Amino acid sequence: MLGDAYLDGLAAKPLDEVRAMHEECLEVETEVSYVRRLAQARIDIVSAELDRRASGGSVEDLVARLPNILADEHPRSDPAHSRLPLHLAPSMAITWQRGLEHLIGDSTLLNLPTLSVEELGETREQLRTLEREMSDRRRSLHRVIDGIESDLTARRRVDQT
């Protein structure tokens, strides 16, 4: 899907096949976005745990701060410059076996109080790597989706004339 040849000959493919490609890309983009957002949330939580330890706070302090830690402090993009997802969540059938995704499992947070500062720092760096990888894949997927959507738009224009 992210290979150079994926969009080759797109205009010659049957409409149903192009629509299926589009749907598949949207599903994968939803999966990638989901993993990316989970990684971002865990980065924020691990960072807050490191801060809590440095300031001498309790685990209860961390738990009480979770709503603020997880709140999105950045304003949303205006609708003209954002993508409305057609899939709000990834398929429940997804098995995450692509690399660092084990970091987004519940055990990362469950074990948080037992990890050393060094382990927390290493976990945060691995999560940052995962987030960067997912961001890069997401941008690449958006280019593919844009190419397919351009083809679908061109086909609609032809049908309207």
Integer Cα distance of 138 and 159 in angstroms: 31
3-state secondary structure of 61: helix
- Give the helix ranges, DSSP H, for 1-116: 15-55, 59-70, 106-110
- pTM check: above 0.75: yes
Burial of 104 (0-12, 13-18, 19+ CB in 10 A): buried
Is 145 contained in some domain? yes
Q: What's the mean pLDDT in 88-103?
A: 60
CB-CB contact of 88 with 26 (8 Å): no
Q: CA torsion angle for 33, 49, 129, 99 (degrees, to 10)?
A: -70
Q: Is 79's pLDDT higher than 60?
A: no
Say which residue, 62 or 93, is predicted with more confidence. 62
Total domains present in the chain: 1
Q: Is residue 115 part of a domain?
A: yes
Range of the domain at 109: 16-71+97-160
Q: Is residue 127 assigned to a domain?
A: yes
Taking CA 145 as the corner, what is the angle to CA 141 and CA 95, rounded to the nearest 5 degrees?
50
Q: Is residue 90 part of a domain?
A: no
Kindly tell me if the per-residue pLDDT of 106 is higher than 70.
no
Identify which has the larger pLDDT, 61 or 91: 61
> Is residue 48 situated within a structural domain?
yes
pLDDT at 144 over 80: yes
- If pLDDT is split at 50, 70 and 90, which confidence band does 41 have? very high
- Proportion of the chain above pLDDT 90, given as a percent: 57
106 within domain boundaries: yes
Asked whether residue 152 is assigned to any structural domain, the reply reads yes
CA dihedral 35, 38, 44, 47 (to 10 degrees): -70
Checking if the pLDDT of 125 tops 70, the result is yes
φ, ψ of residue 59 in degrees (nearest 5): -60, -35
Evaluate if residue 142 carries a pLDDT over 70. Answer: yes
Q: Scanning the structure block, which residue is given the tokens 């961390």?
A: 62
- Is 56 within a domain? yes
Give the residue with greater pLDDT, 77 vs 8: 8
The answer to which of 76-85, 98-107, 127-136 has the lowest mean pLDDT is 76-85
Question: pLDDT averaged over the chain?
Answer: 84
